[in-house]
Structure 1
Amino acid sequence: MTDTRQLGAARRYPFSEPDRLNLDPLYAELRREEPVTRVRLPYGEEAWLATRYQDVKVVLGDPRFSRALSVGRDEPRTSPQQIGGGILSMDPPDHSRLRRLVAKAFTARRVEQLRPATTAIADELVDAMAAAGPPADLVEAFSTPLPVRVICMLLGVPPTDQHLFRTWSEAIISTTSLSQETIVGYLGSLHAYMAGLIAQRRETPTDDLIGAMVQARDEDNDRLTEQEMVELAAGLLAAGHETTVTQISNFMYVLLTHPEQLAVLRARPELVPDAVEELMRYVPLGAASAFARYATEDLELSGVRIRAGEPVIAALSSANRDAAVFEEPDRLDLTRGAGPHIGFGHGVHHCLGAQLARMELQVALGTLLRRLPGLALAVDDKELPWKSGLLVRGLRSLPVTW
């Protein structure tokens, strides 16, 4: 790719428009030659972009980099509106205080208890697909309802209200797909809805996650403010399904367009957990990297001087393709093993729902392979429609047959 920047000027970022799930080749060039580079995003101040695995882990995990310092700053971003707020813009100890309240709901043991119910939902969705007959839109028939129903079950959201937050939650991942007015309206509706559920839990206590948060807040000297609880519940509801919805379809698209790897998985279904880890490494979920960390003191990354107060963006997708860590990183290999990928992030902001997402992705892939062994694309892959204007890459529809 031609570098059109003037000498000493920041590169325009993102480097290009998202192309399906293809990672811009400039990342590889930067990892080799300029691993920490100056960039300018569509909105906000200039930033540094870290592209190598080790540097990305430092930015995400070293306490000398702060998310809290983004508050009140013109944070570099791809959307007109500020991304920050809530738990994503906190450092310890405030971040730790909120995270502890919900961490118990996402332990490996708790998530495993949800696996049978998740499998039953997946089978029910495939039953409906099979009854209707091919072709089917996998996004609408399977990828979307599965995580939505699971997060509703975990949080205690009535199934009859699922259609509401499916619409509202796009506001959290929108960059340009929605107008600023629509985003504000959707977020207001989502927060008002969660406040209503919280009020219900006070009247009638429950043992779901929202009920547990209400109890913890009311019994812990109000250490969790009402606004924090509303924002945390809304964030869990939206983030708890949006990314998994997207990744189920992304993963199936990758498998269906890599027939040799799909054949390996069909022959060896015990590899599904490893396949999920490899696909988390291989698939660049983000349309661009975001959520800058601000240096709290002067330091160096790959020989580049980062001064206190400067924002640094960690390119997770680039880090997951670093040849210094992964052999033949641009090749999909479902037999590679879990490996040290950072598809779920790293450090204190490591994805809270990683265990839940892993389980849902394992169930989704395993069920589709088991129930629909002849699954194939119903159209040419170049005809598939992709979403735009969002923080994540994903398909609008995925027509399949079997």
Structure 2
Amino acid sequence: MTTEPTAAVNDGLGLDEAVKAATLSTPEYRQCPHPYYKVLREQAPVVRLTPRHGVDTYLITRYEEAHAALADPRIGKDMHEGIDLYHALFGDACETLDDNLLFADPPRHTRLRHIAKTAFTPRHVKDLRPHIEELANELLDRCPTDEPVDLMKAFALPLPVMVICELLGIVGVERTEVLKWFSVVTRSRFSKDMKDDLVEAEHWLRDYFTEHIRCTRANPTDDFLTVLVQTRHEEEALTDDELVSMIWVLLFAGHKTTTLQIGNSVFNLLTHPEQLRALQEDRELMPQAIEELLRYEGSVETSTFRYALEDVEIGGTVIPQGAIVQIALTGANRDPEKFPAPDTLDITREHLQREHLGFGFGPHFCLGAPLARLELEICLTALLDRFPDMVLALPDSDAGDWLKGPFPAFRGLEKLPVALDPSRTVDDWTAPAR
């Protein structure tokens, strides 16, 4: 088994430095937060930060406290309730898109989640397998084997995009336009210089989703979106505004996190060849491997924003009413008190599915977890079946710098250069040592 090479870096790191790095989200922290989370877990598992947005924030890094906070009813999600934290954190743009179950508390959250859950039944997810397998193989058919390929661009990104867009009935030219404006929102969300672009993108997406919902009502089928439009909870259906924000959050969560997780998983298997061999030799390890890859390097680094509805004591620290609560899922998943040798990737670990926090915990546990697991299984199986000798197409010395792309709140790759069949790759490329 191989230990994360950067996990032991900065053993002399002090608490003040760790707090400062987490507060400012420094490049070193973004590159690899594990050493900083290690210090915080040991010395300040619930620590006060003062980020640039100016709202006091408490970061939780230890598993026990993180697990408890995710299910604590005293910690809310509705940023408009009581103290208006939404505008302090996000400004005025995207308010319509963000009016979804991620920013809701009971009883509204209960209704929204019940309706959304009807579209994510185990049967619905299971029925998607043949089509996702077909899409995965079609994408891999297009990948060159005589030169390195960027697996993020060629495979990890388009597959989840295709799946979630087809579920939502967004196809053809419309898909290209939706993804273009979606990209504008994700690029400009926290940029003051791109505020006009953000407003334009939000308006375009809101208008498109509204018309898409109208067409679905007029021409219902048996698809995912029709289920959302027609399902009721206690005789109450989703309003048009709620459906718009539901489509937005499903589109966002349904592809970004899965895309990054596919990349993380492939990268970590390729940089831990003994684990890759074990999985190749025993495919029955696949379910355990997926859970361990989610624990070891999940695509969601910190939970979505929460805030204290009242003074809340967690881990001996009082979080005052109105303070933001952020939960470092990545930090909790490397807690040695919960997971022995946490910086070691070990696909033979058992009983992880209900223990790691890769999909969160509590009332806001990820609804799309079954679909994400299915897509991961299909992607890894297809790659191992078709390209058992694939290797990273970069020197070993550079490998540690590739995983940690600059995605706030997320962990993932911008690029993943891979030689799918090193024996056929052109002569001017040299495979890294293994």
Q: Same fold (TM over 0.5)?
A: yes
Q: Which residue is equivalent to 2:310? A: 297
1:121 equivalent to 2:135? Answer: yes
1:163 aligned residue (176, 186, 196): 176
| 1:80 Cα deviation from its structure 2 partner | 6.7
1:41 equivalent to 2:41? Answer: no
Give distance in 2, aligned partners of 1:46 and 1:264. Answer: 46
1:355 equivalent to 2:365? Answer: no
Q: Tell me, yes or no, if the aligned pair for 2:308 and 2:325 is still in contact at 8 Å.
A: yes
Give distance in 1, aligned partners of 2:67 and 2:49. Answer: 19
Q: Which residue is equivalent to 1:400? A: 418
| 1:259 Cα deviation from its structure 2 partner | 1.6
1:265 equivalent to 2:282? Answer: no
Alpha-carbon spacing, 1:20–1:294, altered in 2? closer, same or farther (3 Å): closer
Superposed CA deviations along residues 213-242 of structure 1, whole A, max 9, x for unmatched, are 22236x986642211111111221222111
| 1:70 Cα deviation from its structure 2 partner | 5.4
Q: Tell me, yes or no, if the aligned pair for 2:297 and 2:411 is still in contact at 8 Å.
A: no
User: Which range is displaced more, 133-142 or 371-380?
Assistant: 133-142
Q: Tell me, yes or no, if the aligned pair for 2:168 and 2:224 is still in contact at 8 Å.
A: yes
Give distance in 1, aligned partners of 2:164 and 2:391. Answer: 28
- Normalised to the residue count of structure 2, the TM-score between the two structures is 0.83
Give distance in 2, aligned partners of 1:104 and 1:127. Answer: 34
- Normalised to the residue count of structure 1, the TM-score between the two structures is 0.89
Q: Tell me, yes or no, if the aligned pair for 1:172 and 1:238 is still in contact at 8 Å.
A: no
2:60 aligned residue (36, 50, 53): 50
| 1:321 Cα deviation from its structure 2 partner | 0.7
Segments of structure 1 that go 5 or more residues without pairing to the other structure are none
Q: Which residue is equivalent to 2:195? A: 180
Give distance in 2, aligned partners of 1:21 and 1:110. Answer: 37
Alpha-carbon spacing, 1:28–1:76, altered in 2? closer, same or farther (3 Å): farther
Superposed CA deviations along residues 64-119 of structure 1, whole A, max 9, x for unmatched, are 11111555534699877788532211011101111111202212222111111111
Counting aligned pairs with the same residue, the percent is 38
Give distance in 2, aligned partners of 1:70 and 1:11. Answer: 29
| 1:38 Cα deviation from its structure 2 partner | 0.7
Superposed CA deviations along residues 191-218 of structure 1, whole A, max 9, x for unmatched, are 222112111112211211211222236x
CA RMSD of superposed structures (Å): 2.9
Q: Which residue is equivalent to 2:395? A: 380
User: Which range is displaced more, 75-84 or 248-257?
Assistant: 75-84
Q: Tell me, yes or no, if the aligned pair for 1:176 and 1:389 is still in contact at 8 Å.
A: no
Alpha-carbon spacing, 1:366–1:11, altered in 2? closer, same or farther (3 Å): closer
Equivalent residue letter for 1:375? M
Q: Tell me, yes or no, if the aligned pair for 1:41 and 1:77 is still in contact at 8 Å.
A: no
1:64 aligned residue (74, 90, 103): 74
Equivalent residue letter for 1:278? E
Alpha-carbon spacing, 1:100–1:77, altered in 2? closer, same or farther (3 Å): same
Segments of structure 2 that go 5 or more residues without pairing to the other structure are 1-12, 422-434
Give distance in 2, aligned partners of 1:400 and 1:78. Answer: 38
User: Which range is displaced more, 165-174 or 141-150?
Assistant: 165-174
Alpha-carbon spacing, 1:11–1:151, altered in 2? closer, same or farther (3 Å): closer
1:193 equivalent to 2:208? Answer: yes
Q: Tell me, yes or no, if the aligned pair for 1:256 and 1:376 is still in contact at 8 Å.
A: yes
Alpha-carbon spacing, 1:150–1:12, altered in 2? closer, same or farther (3 Å): closer
Q: Which residue is equivalent to 2:158? A: 145
Q: Tell me, yes or no, if the aligned pair for 1:12 and 1:40 is still in contact at 8 Å.
A: no
Q: Which residue is equivalent to 1:31? A: 41
| 1:275 Cα deviation from its structure 2 partner | 1.1
Q: Tell me, yes or no, if the aligned pair for 2:57 and 2:326 is still in contact at 8 Å.
A: yes
Alpha-carbon spacing, 1:369–1:142, altered in 2? closer, same or farther (3 Å): same
Give distance in 1, aligned partners of 2:287 and 2:197. Answer: 39
Q: Which residue is equivalent to 1:279? A: 293
Aligned residues: 397
Equivalent residue letter for 1:73? D
SS at match of 2:143: helix
Give distance in 1, aligned partners of 2:186 and 2:335. Answer: 26
2:241 aligned residue (213, 227, 243): 227
Equivalent residue letter for 2:62? R
Equivalent residue letter for 2:325? V
SS at match of 1:179: helix
1:364 equivalent to 2:379? Answer: yes
| 1:274 Cα deviation from its structure 2 partner | 1.2
Alpha-carbon spacing, 1:102–1:292, altered in 2? closer, same or farther (3 Å): closer
Give distance in 1, aligned partners of 2:64 and 2:31. Answer: 23
Q: Which residue is equivalent to 2:99? A: 85
| 1:20 Cα deviation from its structure 2 partner | 7.2
| 1:308 Cα deviation from its structure 2 partner | 3.0
Give distance in 2, aligned partners of 1:76 and 1:289. Answer: 20
Q: Tell me, yes or no, if the aligned pair for 1:45 and 1:75 is still in contact at 8 Å.
A: no
Q: Tell me, yes or no, if the aligned pair for 2:303 and 2:329 is still in contact at 8 Å.
A: no
